[in-house]
Every structure is written in C-alpha cells, then in structure tokens.
Amino acid sequence: MSPVTEVGMNGASRRTWDSQHAARIIEGLKDQQGASLPILHALQDQFGYVHPDAIPLIADALILSRAEVVGILNFYHDFRQAPAGRHILKVCRAESCQAMGCEALVAHLQQRLGIAMGETTADGSVTLETVYCLGNCALSPAMLLDRELYGRVSPERADRILAAAMGTEAPQVAR
Amino acid sequence: MTRVFIPRDAAALSVGANDVAVAIRREATARGLDVEIVRNGSRGLLWLEPLVEVETAQGRIAYASITPEAVPGLFSDRFLEGKPSVGHLGLTEEIPYLKNQERLTFARCGVIDPLSLSDYLHHGGFKGLRRALTLGSAAIVEEVTASGLRGRGGAGFPTGIKWRTVLNTAADQKYIVCNADEGDSGTFADRMLMEGDPFSLIEGMTIAGLAVGATVGYIYIRSEYPHAFETFRRAVVLAREAGYLGAALAGSDQRFDIDVRLGAGAYICGEETSLLESLEGKPGIIRFKPPLPAIQGLWGKPTVVNNVLSLAAVPLILEKGPKFYANYGMGRSRGTMPFQLAGNIKQGGLVEKAFGLTLREAIFGFGGGTASGRPLRAVQVGGPLGAYFPEALLDTPLDYEAFTAVKGLLGHGGIVVFDDTVDLAQQARFAMQFCAAESCGKCTPCRIGSTRGVEVIDRIIENTERTRNLALLDDLCELMVDASLCALGGLTPIPVLSAVRHFPEDFDRPAPAPLSDAESSAACNPRTLSR
C-alpha cells in the first residue's frame, strides 16, 4: 500500500466483493487520522460500493460501534451500499445548469434510459444520478460519466457520449 | 521546437481538449514537426475552450474553440508560426476579456504548466514563502491583517484576525485546514486554481502554517472534482520531493506538510465545523460555535480554516507587501476577487477584478449578456444561498457591504445569469428543496423548516390560500434566519425572500394543473426528488 491514500470515484474496473481484500485495504489505511472516509472511498473505489460486511471490519479497525460506521456511511451522498450500474452518469441539476436547461436534459435521459433519477437500467449498464454542481458552470449544462466531465451537454450530445462510452453495449431504450 | 499549450483544466476537457491534444500530436508527428505540448491550466476564458495557444517570438497566440477536425487546417495555415487560421484571436494577453482583468491570484493560472516546479519558480513562485521565512509568525500575521484580506469562502471574515487568534492560542499542535469543498453552483475558481496553479495554494497554506505555528495542513477537496484532486495530490508529492514541504522547509529549520483528503458529496461540509467533523472521520454534522475553530478546531486544536482563494492570495501579499494588495478594491473590501460568470451567459469564465466592479459590468462588459440571446431576467450571486436580483439592481458594485445593503451576499463570487424563461417561484422552491436535501439535521429550523418551506411554496404555486401562505413563508424564513445554527438554514431564506420581493408576479400566477397523488407525495419528500 502506498503511503498516499488510494481513493477514487466510481467507474472503471471493479472487483467483486472480497472480505479479505477489504480487510487488507482497511489495515493499510486505519492508522491515519480520521481514517473512516479514506477507507470508505478506497473500498468503494475497489468494489464499486461498500458491502455490508465491511461495516464490522471498519468498526473493529477504528474502534467504533457498527452504528457509528453506518451513521457515517448514510450521511454522505457518495457512498453506496449496493452495486451500481457499469457506468454512473451524474447530471448536474444546480442553479447554473438549471439556467441552461438541465431539467430538459434530465427528462430526455430518463426517457431514453427508461429509468428515473437514482435508478439503474435493467441491463445494469447505467446508473443515473443527480449531482449538485460539477464546477463546470460556465459551460452548463454539465454531467459526469464515470470520471469524465462533459460541458454544454445537449440531449443529442448526451446520446453520443453515452453511445461512445458503451461501445457496442447500446443503452436500453425505453419503449 | 515550438511550444503549444492545450489546457488540462476540467472545463477544457469537458469540451474535448484531450482529443485536440491527441490530434495535434498526431498531426505534428505526421508532418515531422518538432512540437512540445504543454498541458496548462485554463486562462478562464471558458467559453473559448478548448483554447489552444502557440508560443511565438511576439508572445502566445490564441486559437479558440478548437476541434480535432480543425487541427489539420491549423497546421496547413501555419499556426505554429502564429499565422491566422480558424479561431485565431491574436495575442492571448491582448484579448479584452483577459486584458481588462486584474489577475493577482490567477496571474499564473493558464500560463504555466501546473505541475512544473521550475515554471512556478520562474513566475515568482515561493518568493512569498522565502520572505515569510525571514519574518517570523507575528510579522506575517501583521502583513496579512494589513492587506485587508477577507475570507473568500463567503463569510468575509478578516483573515489576519483569524490567524492572530490561532497564533495567540497556545497548544502542542495546531492545524491549517484548506476548505476546497467548493459546492456553490456558479463557482469554479477553487477548481481552476487547484488544476492550474496548485503550488500557489501549497505556498499559501505553508505561509499560514508559519504564521500561526502549525506544522500540519489538511486540504478537503470535494469528490465532484476528480481532476482537481488528482492534480493537487500530484503537486503535493512534487513539492515534498523538492523540499518545499516536510522538514527543513525550503532549506530552513521550519516544517510543514499537507495531507490531501477527499469529500464525499455533502454540501454541508463546506461549512467549516462540518468540514472539521468530516476530516475527523465523522458524519459532517455541524458544531455549535463557540468555541471557534481558531481556538478548538480539528481534534480540539487551534485551527485556521480558510478557503482556497484566501490562502492562494497570501503568497503575493507576502511577496509584494500588504500595501500592494490593499491598493486594490473599495471600502472595506480590499484586493481582488475572482468572480465567476456562469449559467445563461454568452462569455462564461473567470474574471478577477478589484472589488467595486458592478454586476452590470461583469455580466455585460465581460460576459456579453445571455447565452440564449433572450433578455436577462434574474441573477443569482453567491451560490444557492445568495439572492436573486432583478435587472434594476445590476448597478450594485461587487463589494461585501454593498451586497449586504441590498439583502444579498457576495459569497464565493459566483454569478449565475437567468434569461426571461426562468420561474422564480420554482427557484425559491428549489432553494428550500436543496436545503432539505443537504441539511445536516442538527437544528430543527433547517431540518424541518426547509421541508415545510417546500410545502408552503407548493401551496403558493397551487394558489391555495396564497396570501396566507405568503405570510407563513415570511414567518418561516424569519425563524430560519434567527434560529438556524449555521449558514445553510440561516441563509436559505435569502434566495427565497429575494425571489418573492423582486419577482412577485411569479408567485401570483394561475395555478398549474394539479399533480397526481404519486407525484405530489414525491414532491413533499425533498430527498426523493433531489438525489
């Protein structure tokens, strides 16, 4: 484990849940001050979500109660407790993007993918989520697909970006 | 060999800068030309991204809005010699948008390679730190106080006074915490700086450490900024390797180091005590104040919590002296502020100017009006807790006190423009909904008040006892202002009441068609709607 905290966002390749591997991640990070967020990020980065079995491992490592770990996990919007789709699409719905029609973009994406915000397509390809501000406010509307930021996203551009990201894996189109 | 600059800033990447870099590399190789590609930060002329620059004997020549398809044409037109071609704007420094700014904090951003220490040193880097090392704690605090620098995160508290409190509080350990949880919509200056000139922030944090006797710094970067996080983390490693962090700082007997932490999607963690809780590994539930973080902050130790822009302003103050900085600005707002033009704006980007510029000058002088070409109807200044202003208030100068006088706030300098399609009743509703989604839940006015606020505004929109509900909204807002523990609940009434005050007609429309039962129950639960 490198001394620098290995943390990251969703997307890219992920391992299936492995308690032993998780325990090694926790062991490598637990001695830093305020270790719980770095640990949760590292687990989510590795597995795509924080498996319920991680809760007692973290609690033991940090000398916290399980309830405290659950409290941390639930407080932060980033942490998910079940696997997401293979791609995570976060659409900004804050004021700057509102001023440039993000709600129309959201409506389009929901219709095209056949899901509501916060849901995952039935084929598991895309999870669609709301985010409040990606810091790309001069080029609104903005969205983040996995770790890639996009600006001036029209519905057509969103379709092209999704199609390119998924390659042959075409998004499920709602009937 | 010719140097070509293609930004690595996330906004530039969001409109294809990486593809342009690949195309330029490929074309140069195919033509056998010796080209060095520098991935700089952004100049902040964001509507022109990807903005490619070529270094010539005359200076850097700009080519705007470049696409990969345009690249072969650029080469054929001899853009490597600065010749006219697609998107050609002449000398970058002469573009009026940039030329008419007063770039102090952002002087290097977009100019240098953000991860090149030699570039940084070449452009005046670490001069402030070197001088600070000769001054000693009290004198550094004195200079920052004399510069008039006020917290750029939004509260506008004098930075020097905060530092003095920490300096004068005895403790075995003190901390510097940089708040890089830039969650306000319409703001991106922190992100640009971390991606475009990270060493200046490292230098500013280090000087703060010397000023108050802190040896450890933390920076809390929001997770919505993956590029800024990566760039800053790499910059910290480079600075440490070069002896600008760690023991024997820049060859002195002082020490300071920085730990880079990632937020987890909670807007409230931009509130300083919530941020401290989060750094300690807990839910970001705010703390009662007092005690102030300056006295009992991180792990109960005296802590300076400053915004990115406050800390990044410090190296120049130390380098050039407090008078130089204080000579910019108006009234009690000294120095410059990096304003950010966003939303429905033709020329969105970063405008660093001395305080005192009017909103109109910013939006029309720099921004060129709305992107849609429709009439401007409202402007929200200062993020989701800032007021909505009508056209009639555009002559307000961008100054802390002038904005307080018109019941608004400058916040972090974000300016979000809306055209005449905006519905201010919906914006007011969103303000309450956002507060409900992001409330930490500690105090009742914020936790419950915001949800009640959504409901009351819904009744006003539905034209259910409109007059009585407007009075109720007023009453609720008064309660939230008076009784909330922090700025989230305490300031959410600002956008709400400004919308009612300046745009009463939007609260007096015929009721829309009623919602189905399912829709209306979803509408009453802000969390369902918002995330």
Cβ contacts of B445 within 8 Å, gap of 6 or more:
B479, B480, B482, B483, B484, B489
Confidence of residue A167 (pLDDT cuts 50, 70, 90): confident
Yes or no: say if B226 and A131 are a contact pair by the CB < 8 Å rule: no
Q: Is the pTM of this model over 0.90?
A: yes
A117 in contact with B at a CB cutoff of 8 Å?
A: yes
Minimum Cα–Cα distance from B415: chain A residue: A96
Q: In A, which residues are within 8 Å of B349 by CB distance?
A: 138
Residue of chain A whose Cα is closest to the Cα of B437:
A77
B250 vs A18, higher pLDDT: A18
* Nearest CA-CA distance, residue B80 and chain A, Å: 28
Can you give the pLDDT at residue B388?
Answer: 98
CA B398 to CA B389: how far, in whole Å?
13
pLDDT in tens, A73-120: 999 999 999 999 999 999 999 999 999 999 999 999 999 999 999 999
The enclosing H or E element of A112 equals helix A102-113
Q: Which stretches in chain B have pLDDT values below 70? A: 514-531
The answer on pLDDT for A42 being more than 60 is yes
Mean pLDDT of A141-150: 97
| Sequential DSSP letters for A37-104 | HHHHHHHHHHHSS--TTHHHHHHHHHT--HHHHHHHHHH-TT--SS---SEEEEEE-SHHHHTTTHHH
Distance from C-alpha of B185 to C-alpha of B504, rounded to nearest angstrom: 24
Which long-range CB contacts under 8 A does A171-174 form with residues at least 24 apart?
A: A171/A112, A171/A113, A171/A121, A171/A125, A171/A126, A172/A113, A172/A114, A172/A121, A172/A122, A172/A123, A172/A125, A173/A112, A173/A113, A173/A114, A174/A111, A174/A112, A174/A113, A174/A114
Residue % of chain A over a pLDDT of 70: 88
Choose among A33, A78, A129: nearest Cβ to B264.
A78
Looking at residue A14, its pLDDT comes to: 73
Q: How far apart are CA B261 and CA B248, in angstroms?
A: 24
Q: What is the rounded distance in angstroms from the CA atom of residue B160 to the CA atom of residue B176? A: 14
* Min Cα–Cα distance to chain A from B343, Å: 4
Please give, rounded to a whole number of angstroms, the shortest distance from the CA of A4 to a CA of chain B. 9
Tally of CB atoms within 10 A around B404: 12
Q: What percentage of chain A exceeds 90 in pLDDT? A: 85
CB contact under 8 Å between A77 and B344, yes or no, is no
Query: Does the distance separating the beta carbons of A147 and B226 come in below 8 Å?
Result: yes
Residue A160 touches partner B, C-beta closer than 8 Å: no
Minimal C-alpha gap between A18 and chain B (Å):
23
Q: Which tens digits make up the pLDDT trace of A131-141? A: 999 999 999 99
Q: Which residues contact B342 (CB under 8 A, 6 or more apart)?
A: A96, A99, A137, A138, A140, B185, B186, B187, B188, B348, B414, B415, B416, B417
Residues B202 and B258 sit within 8 Å (Cβ to Cβ): yes
Average pLDDT of chain B is 96
A-B Cβ pairs (cutoff 8 Å, strict): 177
Given a cut of 60, whether residue A2 has pLDDT beyond it is no
Q: Which of B221, B424, B224, B187 is nearest to A91 (CA)?
A: B224
The SS3 call for residue B527 is: helix
Spell out which residues of chain A touch residue B280, defining contact as CB-CB under 8 Å: 33-34
CA A51 to each of CA A17, A58, A79, A130: distance values in angstroms, whole numbers, following the listed order: 7, 11, 10, 22
- Please tell me which residue of chain A has the smallest CA distance to B228: A135
Cross-chain residue pair B531–A129, CB shorter than 8 Å: yes
First to last CA, chain A: 48
Sheet arrangement for strand A87-92 = A126-131, A87-92, A143-145, A148-150
Among A45, A132, A147, the residue to mutate for chain B (most B Cβ within 10 A): A132
**B374: amino acid identity, one letter:** R
Kindly state whether A16 is in contact with chain B, defined as any CB-CB distance less than 8 angstroms: no
Confidence (pLDDT) at A1: 33
> For A138, which of B11, B228, B263 is closest by C-beta distance?
B11
